[in-house]
Structures are given as structure tokens and as C-alpha cells.
Amino acid sequence: MPKYVYLFKEGDASMRNLLGGKGANLAEMTNIGMPVPQGFTVTTEACTRYYADGKTIAPEIEEEIYQALAATEKEYGKKFGDLENPFLVSVRSGSRASMPGMMDTILNLGLNDVAVEGMARLTNNERFAYDSYRRFIQMFSDVVMEVDKGLFHNALEDVKREKGTTQDTDLDAQDLKEVVRRYKEIYRNAKGEEFPQDPKMQLMEAIKAVFRSWDNPRAIYYRRMNDIPGDWGTAVNVQGMVFGNMGDDCGTGVAFTRNPSTGENKLYGEYLMNAQGEDVVAGIRTPHPMADMETDMPELYKQFMEYANTLEKHYRDMQDMEFTIERGKLYMLQTRNGKRTAAAAVKIAVDLVGEGMLSEEEAVLKVEPKQLETLLHPNFDTAELKKATSFATGLPASPGAGAGGLYFTAHEAAAAGKQGKDVILVREETTPEDIEGMDYAKAILTARGGMTSHAAVVARGMGRPAVVGCGALHIDEVKKTLTVNGQVFHEGDPVSVDGTTGHVYSGLIPTVEASVSGDFGRLMAWADAARTLKVRTNADTPRDTAQAVEFGAEGIGLCRTEHMFFEADRVKAMREMILSDSAEQRRAALAKILPFQQKDFEEMYKALEGRPMTVRYLDPPLHEFLPQKSMVNEIAEIASELGTTSEKIVQKIDELHEFNPMMGHRGCRLSVTYPEIAEMQTRAVLQAALKVRKETGMAVVPEIMIPLVGSKKELKYVKDIVMETAEKIFAEQGEKIDFLVGTMIEIPRACVTADEIAEEAEFFSFGTNDLTQMGFGFSRDDAGKFLDSYYTSKILESDPFARLDVDGIGKLVETAVTLGKKGRPNIKLGICGEHGGDPSTIEFCHKVGLNYVSCSPYRVPIARLAAAHAAIKEKQAK
């Protein structure tokens, strides 16, 4: 039988999967002699078992919990529910991956009508005891028993009104006893029974509540966003309470061994005297910087610094620590590798190598690829910024710049964001419920809270710019107004938020590219040395190409040629082609596009400076080049431009209408019906290549990619057109150039017949967007309507369009890889779907043996780093 409960002194840091991050670190701190309030951890396996057993805790696990409790009580010399020396505990979640704020916590557990008296006596502070008790009743009722917390709020307000005050602090012990009485009544009315007086029963219910909170909607959303599997489960840490709020020789704080925003090697944090830990994090009172502690309590500060240094060296990483001072004694409540901004992550990783704490490869692993996104994101244009006047300033909690329309609730922000609007979320302070709205926001702005408030921590984690604690803001959530010094903003009004400086501006300030530091270059060089996957980019313009090359792209993996047909000067000819009645007319129309398209390719070849370019032939259905039927004026305009009638155009729109255009007449199917399109594109690709090579002497490496292929014959049909056209061009010009012809693998049938297709294809590039669409039968444009139900019912854990579904679509990819290599052993394999920039997908690509991934220019560094992670982890696993 597995062991489901571990005393802190029984565990260590290596047991993270079983004990969760928090539990493993409490055990490790205990082992290295830190002053940790003792307790025990109920394992993640107990959580999994809880769900498997139909949301019940098996008797043998209950028994183990009671044994651990008894051992802990003995250590403290205290007893649950004791009048003399009552034992109180905190009950906290702690999963394998850090999920700050996502799950539930219960403090002061163990209080009941007897223990509260014991506590009053022991602390000689009746008010403190009853304040703790009423807080516990409210928290337990809300979190564990699901009693509406508004009822408690109202009862407290009633008592304050009766007393004639608005401040909690004006209530004395007697008032708080009355509050406790009313709270217990509320509980009795809601649950039909007395508030539980048995601390063991309290404990068991609290543990269950933490297990349950693993599956609350915000936790599910967080996991999906952070690729955390739903079957990991959470551990539960039961820890003896120490009190930072027993008087002025008590306090609590949070500190980082280095600056989590910049990476600077200097202690960074905040503390509050006479407060509980939640007060610091919740941002209700504004805390002191840690520097004040050095002046005010030099001994304690020195002691804390020793612990901090020990922990950082022990974990070989920047630590995020919680501590409490109870009557002058320092306790370490928690440590973990600290969340940090991308810039900080890079600096810390590079510094730790310099300090001899990490190897280069270990340093590479210290930076999460996804994080880089912030580093690479634009900041406000300095010139424009100089012209702007800030109307408010807060704490610069998460760096970067964001501009958009104001929204006052997370829900509305998310809704607007889903419609593609740029959104700024403004809140009094944020709560874990706001997470989806924060995710959709370009920047986050709050009126309250400090640098370690919820908004600040989450925004940094997400890479969203944030300004917090901006006290000048007066927010009316109901009227949807933001008033600052008499200036009133309404929902949707444009504002710009600079998370690097803390300034907030009205209007939309243009942004410019980020410049990356020397540390970044050093880290990326280590990453490049470690990785085996090549990284290309998806780019359709010379500008994007140049940007991607600067970011380290090793070629273009996907040049979509659609835009080359859509631009104003070409779409007319394209429409002529579509309205043609014969191949000759079509050819004549396409001939007008050829010079433009050839010019585009010439510029891109030049920007690539000898790197290869994969050109995908025309893919979208032709109806996309015509207006919608209801756009009568546009149709009339086009008709007059092309010298035809609106009727003829409408007739063609009708002809081109499809019920399921995604599975319709597009991709290589266009070239099967209109071979002249492939002819023209082949001319553009190869004539441009010959010309650039001649003009510049550069190597030019064209790779022609036929999209949406489902069978070998289909590919061969289009390839034959390409090869015949190429022969003609080479004969005309008296000169040849090497090029490849390959295909997108994006149709399930192509995966299962990839051996045959590889006989014709010199490379495969996985188009995992379409493969996901066809493989799941999920229309990307429509699936949004039901995917939310799929997340809440836990059928899906992540958006398969953002993160490759390795278990299903991944099998199709693997099949195609295996068969493709069978058909052509030296076949070149890549991926060019949106997934190409997703780190977990990149890890999969590395494992199945692709040669390269291709992603948008801004994701190139992310992909380089992710590819390095995959290679290093593989090496470490060996």
C-alpha cells in the first residue's frame, strides 16, 4: 500500500511529484535546519485516489492523516481543540507545478468554542482570538462548506453599523463575540446543523475542499494556459500556525533573493508588522520594503539574509520566500523558485553561470521559452512617448507596453478580447477569478496592491504589462467609469499602459520593437549550441523576413503566397482570372500578376541571404477574392472596373459558394482544376531565383510546397506541372537552378499514405492547423462555440489549435514521419502550423525526429530556446 501522508521531516526536495512543490520544499527546508513550523503533507496520489473513489477519502488515508496529526501535536506539545494549549493549523494546496492563487487555503483551522478561549488565554488577547475565530468561520464556511460569503459580510457590516463605526478595527472583543454568534447562526441556517466543533472533522473537510479546488474553473483555465496535466492532482500541506498578527513584535513578509522584475542580485520584498500573510499578498495595506527591516530589526534581518543565501545556494536558483515573525521569532513558511519576468529570468540564468552555480545548459533550462515573448514584445515609441502626458502613475509591476480600450470587468474584457479587440483591464484589485480577462488584456491596471499583489504576480507570469497600486484611480464598476483628477474615462476609451515605468496615458501610443540585451544573446548562443532542431520562420514579406533573420531564423518554412494575390494592384487581375471562362483567359489574367509575384520573391530571396525559402502555392478558396453577395456597392465597383456586370459577379459568387469551404475547393485542388495557377507561380518562384542569383551571386534555395495534398497522384499531378514549367524556364534562360518540390501534410489521408506520397515529395511540412481541423473534425472558425464546454467537462485540457494534441493528431504526425522515411529515407521534415512556435509542440517535434520547426518571426527565439530545452532534457534523461 502506498504511503499517502508524509511528515515534513520524512520528505525532501526530490519528492516534488508526490508532495507538490510546496510540500517538497517544506520538507527540504526542514532537512537543512530552517525554522519551519512543522506539519505534514497529504500526497498528490491521495488526491488522485480521492477522485477515483468518487470524491471520498478512503478510511486508510484518513487513518494516516490522524497519525500524522498526532505526531505533529506531540512535537508542538499542543492539542487540537484544547482549552489550555490549542493546536491550530493552516491547510494549503500545493501541486507539482506552482499555480499561485488558483486553489484554496484555510488558516486557523482547529478553532472552536473551546480553543478560542484557550487561545485568548494563551495570547492574553481575547480580541485577537475572536477575530481569528470569526475569520476562520467565514473562510471555512465559504471555502469548505460553500456557504454564500455575502451573508457573513452583511452580518459584519450590521454589527459595525449597530456599533456606529465603519472600521473593523473599532470592534472590540465583545463585538467580535457577537459577530461569531451571528456567523454561527448563518452557518446553522444555511447547513441545518451547528458549525463543526470537532477540529478533526474540520481538518478532513478542509482537505477535501483543497482536493476539490484542483478542479475549479480557474484552476482548469490556468492549467490549460500553462500546459499542466489535469491528472497530476494537488497535495495538501497541513502546517502548525504561527501568527504574524499577535502584536507589534509580530509580522509577516514575502521576499525574493533577487529582483524578480530585473534580475538584479539584491534582496527584494515587502513585509507588514502585526499582519497575517494574506494581508501582504492581497494588497490591502501597503507594506514596507525589505530595506526598512535592516534598519528596524537588524538582527532578524541578518538572520533572514543568512536563510535566503542558504536557500538560493541550495536550490541554485532565485528563491521566493514567505516568512512570519511571531513574538520576535523568525519562521520560514515557504520557499520556491521565484517567478520572474523574462528579462530577469535571462539575467539571473546568465549571472548564475557567472557565479559558478549553473552550467550553461542548466542556465538554458532556467528560462521558460514562452516567457521570452515579453522580452520580444514592443515598447512604446520613445518619441511618441515624449509627447504624451501621463494622467496617472502606479507601481511598474510587469514590464512592457500595452494600449487598448478600457474594460472594467474581467468578463467584459475577455468578451471584447475574443472579438479581437485590444483590451486594457482596469480593476480596483484583481482576484483569481479575473484570470481569463487578464489573459485577454494587452495590459492590466489596478488602483490598489503592491509589487507582490495578485495582479502583479499573475501579470508577470503571463508576460502582460501591468501597473498596480495606482491610487489616483477612482473606479465605478457599475457606471463603468474611471475618474482620475476629474478626467472621466468610459468603457472602450483608449488608454496606454507602460508596465516598465508605471505611467498610464490616455489615447493609443504607437509601439516599437524591443531590443534585447547582451545577456539574451549569450543565453541564446548556449541554446543554439544545445539544440538539434532547426528553426525557420513563417513570413510573407521582406520586412518580416528581415525581422525573423535578426531573431535567428534559419530560413523560411512557410511563405504563404495568398497576400501576393490579395494586394490592391493584383486582386483585380485575380478577379479577372476567376471570372474567366477558359484556360486562355485565365492565363492572360495570371500573366498580369506574375511580375508582381516574381518581384516579391526576389526581395525575399535577398532578405534571406542564401537561406532556404519554402513557398506554399495558392491555398485559399477563390471566393475569398470576391466580396460577399450582400456588398452590392463593392460588386458594382468591381464590375465596372472589370468591364462586366454585377449579375455575372453575383453568379460567380453563387457558383463559388461552399457549405464547408475548409473542406472545399482550395489548396492543390485549385491547381488540379486550374493548372495555369501552378504554372504562373512556378515562373514567379524560379525566375526570381535565377534573377537574384545572377544579380547578387547569393545562393538561392527555392522549395516549392504543394498544399492540401491527400494522395500521391494528386501531388504528382501538380508536381508534373511544376517540373514541366521549370524545364521551359530553364530552356528559355539557358540556365538551371536546384530546387525541391514537397508538400504540406495536413490531410489525414496523407498521413496514412505518406510512404507513397514521399516517393514524389522531397520534403514534408506538417500543416498542423488543418491536420487538427480534419483530424478532430473541428472547424477552427466554429469550435470556439463548444470548446469551452470541452474544457469545463475536462474532455480537453488545452486548445488543440494552440498546443498540438500529441495523443491524437500527434499519432497522425508520427505515422506520417515513419511512413515518409520509409518512402524516402532522406526526406526533409518540418512543421509550419501555428503549433511550430509552441514549446510543448516543439518538444514533440524534436522527439519524433523532425528536421525543423517554422513559426512567426517573434516566436523564433522562443522556438530556438524550446528546441534547446528538448535536446538538453533528452540528453539528461539518458
- Nearer to a second copy by Cβ, of 508 and 662: the residue is 662
The residues of the shown chain that bind a second copy, judged by CB under 8 A, are 658-665, 669, 672-673, 708, 710-711, 713-714, 717, 746-749, 752-753, 770, 773-779, 781-783, 785-786, 789-790, 793-796, 805, 807-809, 811-812, 815
The pairing of beta strand 740-745 with beta strand 494-498: unpaired
Task: For a second copy, give the closer residue by CB, 567 or 658.
Answer: 658
660 residue type, one letter: N
Residues 47 and 235: their CA atoms lie apart, in Å, by 7
Query: β-strand 481-484 against 487-490: which pairing, if any?
Result: antiparallel
Cα separation values, 99 from 103, 194, 208, Å: 8, 34, 18
Closest to a second copy by CB, 508 vs 787, is: 787
Closest CB 349 distance from a second copy, rounded Å: 38
Q: Do 743 and 749 form a contact (C-beta atoms < 8 A)?
A: no
Whole-number Cα distances in Å, 749 to 378, 570, 773, 845: 41, 34, 13, 20
Contacts of 795 (CB under 8 A, 6+ apart): none
Taking the least distance from each CB to a second copy, the nearer of 380 and 717 is 717
Amino acid letter, residue 694? K
Sign of torsion over alpha carbons 45, 51, 53, 58: positive
Longest dimension (CA), the chain: 102
CB of 296 to a second copy, least distance (A): 55
How would you class 391 by CB atoms within 10 Å of its CB: exposed for 0-12, middle for 13-18, buried for 19 or more?
middle
The kind and range of the H/E element at 642 are helix 632-642
Provide Rg for the chain, Cα atoms: 31
Compute the CA torsion angle 753, 702, 768, 623 (nearest 10 deg). Answer: -100
The residue behind cell 525554522 is 35
Active site residues: 454, 832
Residue with smaller CB distance to a second copy, 27 or 816: 816
User: In whole angstroms, how close is the CB of 446 to a second copy at the nearest point?
Assistant: 33
Measured from the CB of residue 768, what is the shortest distance to a second copy in angstroms? 13
Q: Name the β-bridge partners of 487.
A: 484
For residue 100, how far is the Cα from the chain centroid? 13
Three cell numbers written together for 799: 486548445
Cβ proximity to a second copy, 730 vs 776, nearer residue:
776
Q: Which long-range contacts (CB under 8 A, 24 or more apart) does 154-161 make?
A: 155/179, 155/182, 155/183, 155/186, 158/182
C-alpha grid cell, residue 51: 477522485
| Shortest distance, position 728 Cβ to a second copy, whole Å | 17
Q: What would the grid cell of residue 324 be?
A: 512570519
Q: Shortest gap between Cβ of 710 and a second copy (angstroms)?
A: 5
Q: How far is CA 241 from CA 209, 227, 274, 324, in A?
A: 19, 33, 15, 10
Q: Which is nearer to a second copy, 56 or 154 (CB)?
A: 56
- Between 1 and 795, name the residue whose CB sits nearer to a second copy: 795
Residue 545, classed as helix, strand or coil, is helix
User: Minimum Å distance from CB 344 to a second copy?
Assistant: 38
Please give the grid coordinates belonging to residue 636. 458594382
Q: How many angstroms separate the CA atoms of 88 and 92, rounded? A: 13
Nearest approach, Cβ of 865 to a second copy (angstroms)? Answer: 30
Tell me the HSE value of 10 on the side-chain side, using a 13 A CA sphere. 15
The CB-of-854 to a second copy minimum distance in angstroms stands at 21
Nearer to a second copy, 358 or 618 (CB): 618
Nearer to a second copy among residue 247 and residue 621 (C-beta): 621
How far does the chain reach from its first CA to its final CA, in angstroms?
A: 30
> Taking the complex as a whole, how short is the minimal distance between the CB of residue 659 and a second copy, in angstroms?
4
- By beta-carbon proximity to a second copy, the closer residue of 204 and 796 is 796
Rounded distance between C-alpha atoms, residue 448 and residue 428, angstroms:
6
Q: In the complex, what is the shortest distance from the CB of residue 776 to a second copy, in angstroms, rounded to a whole number? A: 5
Is residue 744 classed exposed, middle or buried when 0-12, 13-18 and 19+ CB atoms within 10 A define those classes? buried
CA–CA dist 686, 736 (Å, integer): 9
Place of cell 498526532: 70
What CA–CA distances, in Å, run from 174 to 115, 122, 178, 379? 17, 18, 6, 55
* Of 229, 442, 225, 258, nearest in space to 343 by CA: 258
Quick one: the chain helix, strand, coil %, rounded to 5? 50, 15, 30
Q: Closest approach of Cβ 440 to a second copy, in Å?
A: 21
Per-residue b or e along 641-664, where b marks 16 or more CB atoms closer than 10 Å to that residue's CB:
ebeeebeebbebbeebeeeebeee
Q: How far is the CB of 616 from a second copy (least distance, A)?
A: 16
Length of the chain in terms of residues written? 878
Which residues lie across from 199 on neighbouring strands?
Answer: none
What span, in angstroms and rounded, lies between the C-alpha atoms of 771 and 833?
9
CB 420 within 8 A of CB 524: no
**Measured between alpha carbons, how far is 639 from 715 in angstroms, rounded to an integer?**
36
Which CB, 314 or 665, lies closer to a second copy?
Answer: 665
Q: Which is nearer to a second copy, 367 or 796 (CB)?
A: 796
